[in-house]
Structure 1
Amino acid sequence: MSLVDNVSDQSEANVQKYGYKQEFRRDLKRFASFAVGFSFISITTGIFSTYGGVLNWGGPLGIWTWPFVAIGQLFVALVFAALASRIPIAGYSYQWMSRLANPKIGWLIGWLSFTYLIVVVVSVDYGIAQTIFPSLFHYTETPVNAWIVTAAIVLVQMLLILFSTTWSTRINNTAVGTEVIGIVGLTLLLLIVGLVRGGLHPDHLFSMGAVPAAGYFNLGTLTSVGPFIFSFLLGSYTIVGFEAAANLAEETENAHKVVPFSMWTAVVLSGIVGMFFLIALNLASGDLKALAGSATPVADIVTQTLGTVVGDIFLILVTFSIFACGLVIFITATRLVWAMSRDERFPAYRLFQRVDSHTSTPLAATILCGIVIEIVLAVFATQTNTLTNLFSASSLLPAIVYLATVILYISTRHKLPKSQGFSLRAFEWPVMILALVWLVFELSIFRDASFQTPWLYSLVMFALGLIYFVYMLVRRPQVLKTLPLEGTSVEEEPGIASSQAD
């Protein structure tokens, strides 16, 4: 038997010991797994969508919240890497929480994750429609055309996923190159051209812009946060989704080793490259007041510094990267629906648990996600400050999921099997505590009264989920009482050695 066969057999055994059978082709290798996490984070998406907001919240100085977020999220990614190594199956937080706590808690976290993935697809695709296309195609953005363009982008993504997971993966892999080339290329060109033309503004690196200096670094009150603290939303929206690699664990070769590495390296690379890009933007920024009032501030800096032709070339690369970001998040949502349906814990689960043998895609789950995404888009598109509300909701929900996961990992990690490929070892407690402190701080930002719409979306979607949750408790209680292996706990599952955390 070849080494490849041995790895394949071991991967299939890892799925079987959790009570499942291997239904997906394991086509994702190390780079593809990294690409999933890196494309989900997508620093181009986050910065193009939120840089204008930062100029209004905390001025150019607000970009210096980025490294704090990157370090905080790295601690979270390391905790998630430890989980992914021990439970390398699709469904990530839903599966982990079901085993760390119980299937009821797992379901609630799974539904929150579904709620998050839906709205983040909308926010990413809406970012293309509002912050890039108007500058690229020279038209005036309005709420109506932004809605129409976003709806069309979602439809194209859905068709790609339905057609072929392989092609979706190829697009995603290519997007890693365009992301790196686009951001690194833009960073270098903005600095070089700006220096040659004398258009760099070193004073903008630490300028507060039009934001008053009084109370700038204040933590805020019970219902508000200070300007600098508000600016943390820049990184909080961007540096999330690294765990998407874990949701495709059943499609990844040697997942228990590959997925953990993919998650934390995606955070590190995104943090470093993103910081340099933000510095270049601040240096190349011209009229801060005009940029703060623009719907396309990053695109404006690019075209004003590099010219229309060169600027448009880079904007095309950026558009492709952001499109791929939305695509991989869309795929992640379909896999979560499929994973919950496989356990008979999602409405119409018999339909959504099916995987097409030709495309290796859960077709019904993909169509469902597409429909729900379009509905959520329609709701947000009719509001004012649509993009701000979207990326705020897309920052709030993962913070809740991350915090719940880290807390349960700290308190019940002794239930988990031994690490198969990644372990925090002596650094486990420092990493866990720092991850916990960071997430509590991050969630405290959302006490600001301006986040009413994101909280409302989260509560409404959670309430809808609770309706089905109560239905299962009343009509199908056994489904929420047992894990797939006929009611056995993790400690009792055959072939899994239970131990205290490394």
Structure 2
Amino acid sequence: MKRELGRYASFAVAFGFVSIATGIFTAYGSVLNSSGPMGIWTWPVVVVGQLCVALVFGALAARIPVSGYAYQWTSRLANPVLGWIMGWISFTFLSVVVVAVDYTIAATILPVLFQYQGTSQNAWVITAVVLLLQAVLVALSTRVTQRVNNVAVTIQLIGMVSLTVLLFVVGAVTGALDFGTLFSTADVPRDGYFSLGGATSAGPWALGFLLGAFTIVGFESAANLAEETRDPARVVPKAMAQAVLGLGVLGMLFLIAVTALAGDPAALARSDTPVADVIARVLGSYVGKGLLVLVVVSIFSCGLVILLSGARLVWAMARDRRFPGWPLLRRINPATGTPMNAAVLMFVIAQVLLALFARSTQALFSLFSAATLLPAIIYAATVALYVAKRRSLPPSRGFQLGRWETPVLVLAAVWLAYELLIFRDASFAEPWLYVAVMFALGALYLAYLLVRHGTAGLTMPDMHDIDKALDDDTPPPAARAGATGGRP
């Protein structure tokens, strides 16, 4: 594939996937119910933790800048079997998160925008159509997809900044801002609010971390397009860190504005569209709806980047003959220059998951919970691997942690361990079931690979071949093997 993505395009990929509009509109209502308004103060902690994770990922992306990110890194740093497992987990995550993101448009915004009663049935149909539009773009043209995403990210930046400023200004002029709400727990009991919880339950404040943990993920999508990015060892790490930091600050300001204007937070928590309700009430029908249109564009962009990233991951694994149906999925369409078959597969899987989750009475909570649990597993495994193997990495061509490496690793490890412990809560039974089913399917295929080819059939190119590929500006060995039909 062509190296045609520059600095802003790489940043836009990371920024578009993270998308604070998506995360906050999806998860804010759940946080009001579990943690009350004071739950928003978990956001800064998550930003610091995820920034440390992004820095670790940047150190890896600068040394192994190839499509497939965690799959490629783990295969080379540990072994191909563990790498395949990480690749499958990443595929599982990307498949469900694109559904969660697109479902947000249908469930939390469009009912307010067009004044109709949202139901699970119409949310299902609308989400299916949105997925189809995204799949067509991803399958037909990477360049067009990137242009659409660049425009959408620019709109998101302008829209979210304007929306935040307007909420503060109008709220101040009308006297509607109540900063005391920021420290209220509403209907959530204060007794034991900051407790760690029990063996099968997390404390009320701890559940608030899911807001940031669901939102500030996906920055590594920039690394998944490394083979299509110019000077990826320098560009990709900075794009990931800048996206996390910028979105973290903007997201916190937006949360403060919405929460200070919540009015009765207990009543707002009972709404299916809490953030959209606040915007429409404070800014009025026309201005509020105009800004909600910008939010829809932002969320569409987020889903677009996720589907794009998923298609690249499937293609990377199929290129190495490690994904079911690899002879078809590793092909690059000569007319479009895209892995079209991989994009079609992501679309089909997303539609299947949508059909399964849309039947649930709490579909949105189940979707965003599963889409938070899986990246936490991926991040924890990758950080642990970096700790164990960092001395054997090839030299960096553009980014390194230097003297900050130890404190960054400690903070990242502590944060991820804490995040994973939150998922012991019994309310996450359905997401764990999804993870278990997908893991079981992956285990069956991995067993087939090992029986048929053995571990020798899963070998990867030497890490230091990556440096030579960068020097020559040619595809890495696995890509050449996949293109010619040879064994990687």
Identify the residue that residue 289 of structure 2 maps to in structure 1.
312
| 1:236-283 Cα distance to aligned partner (Å, 9 max, x none) | 000000000000001100111000100111000010000000000011
Moved more, 202-211 or 443-452: 202-211
Corresponding position: 1:368 with 2:341: no
- Cα distance change, pair 449–494 in 1 and its aligned pair in 2 (3 A): closer
Moved more, 160-169 or 296-305: 160-169
- Of 396, 408, 415 in structure 2, the residue corresponding to residue 438 of structure 1 is 415
For 1:114-153, list aligned pairs within 5 A: 114-153=91-130
TM-score (norm 1): 0.92
Q: What secondary structure is seen at the aligned counterpart in 2 of 1:86?
A: coil
Aligned residues: 470
The one-letter code of the counterpart of 2:192 is G
- Of 196, 203, 206 in structure 1, the residue corresponding to residue 173 of structure 2 is 196
Q: How far, CA to CA, are the matches of 1:51 and 1:72 in structure 2?
A: 20
Q: What secondary structure is seen at the aligned counterpart in 2 of 1:355?
A: coil
Whether the aligned pair in 1 keeps the contact of 2:64 and 2:466 (CA below 8 Å) is no
- Of 135, 138, 156 in structure 2, the residue corresponding to residue 179 of structure 1 is 156
CA-CA distance at 1:90 after TM superposition:
0.4
Unaligned runs of 5+ in 2: 471-488
| 1:323-371 Cα distance to aligned partner (Å, 9 max, x none) | 0000000000000000000101011111100111232210111111100
CA-CA distance at 1:480 after TM superposition:
4.6
The one-letter code of the counterpart of 2:282 is T
The one-letter code of the counterpart of 1:452 is A
Identify the residue that residue 13 of structure 1 maps to in structure 2.
none
For 1:14-29, list aligned pairs within 5 A: 24-29=1-6
Whether the aligned pair in 2 keeps the contact of 1:417 and 1:496 (CA below 8 Å) is no
| 1:465-497 Cα distance to aligned partner (Å, 9 max, x none) | 1111000000122565411x3xxx436888499
The one-letter code of the counterpart of 1:60 is P
- Of 347, 353, 356 in structure 1, the residue corresponding to residue 333 of structure 2 is 356
CA-CA distance at 1:198 after TM superposition:
1.4
For 1:95-494, list aligned pairs within 5 A: 95-477=72-454, 480-483=457-460, 485=461, 489-490=462-463
Unaligned runs of 5+ in 1: 1-23, 498-502
Identity %: 54
Q: How far, CA to CA, are the matches of 2:375 and 2:443 in structure 1?
A: 19
Q: How far, CA to CA, are the matches of 1:201 and 1:259 in structure 2?
A: 40
Q: How far, CA to CA, are the matches of 1:454 and 1:183 in structure 2?
A: 30
Whether the aligned pair in 2 keeps the contact of 1:77 and 1:243 (CA below 8 Å) is yes
Q: How far, CA to CA, are the matches of 2:454 and 2:117 in structure 1?
A: 54
CA-CA distance at 1:25 after TM superposition:
1.1
Q: How far, CA to CA, are the matches of 1:143 and 1:342 in structure 2?
A: 38
Whether the aligned pair in 1 keeps the contact of 2:31 and 2:208 (CA below 8 Å) is yes
- Cα distance change, pair 228–25 in 1 and its aligned pair in 2 (3 A): same
Q: How far, CA to CA, are the matches of 2:465 and 2:53 in structure 1?
A: 28
| 1:412-468 Cα distance to aligned partner (Å, 9 max, x none) | 122210111000011111111111111001100000010001111011001101111
Whether the aligned pair in 1 keeps the contact of 2:138 and 2:145 (CA below 8 Å) is yes
CA-CA distance at 1:54 after TM superposition:
1.0
TM-score (norm 2): 0.94
| 1:55-95 Cα distance to aligned partner (Å, 9 max, x none) | 11111100000000000000000000000000010000000
Corresponding position: 1:38 with 2:15: yes
Q: What secondary structure is seen at the aligned counterpart in 2 of 1:240?
A: coil
CA-CA distance at 1:205 after TM superposition:
1.2
Q: What secondary structure is seen at the aligned counterpart in 2 of 1:359?
A: coil
Q: How far, CA to CA, are the matches of 2:110 and 2:467 in structure 1?
A: 54
The one-letter code of the counterpart of 1:374 is Q
CA-CA distance at 1:196 after TM superposition:
1.1
Whether the aligned pair in 1 keeps the contact of 2:65 and 2:466 (CA below 8 Å) is no
Q: How far, CA to CA, are the matches of 1:434 and 1:187 in structure 2?
A: 30
Identify the residue that residue 475 of structure 2 maps to in structure 1.
none
- Of 66, 72, 82 in structure 1, the residue corresponding to residue 49 of structure 2 is 72
Identify the residue that residue 481 of structure 2 maps to in structure 1.
none
Whether the aligned pair in 2 keeps the contact of 1:41 and 1:239 (CA below 8 Å) is yes
Q: How far, CA to CA, are the matches of 2:11 and 2:278 in structure 1?
A: 30
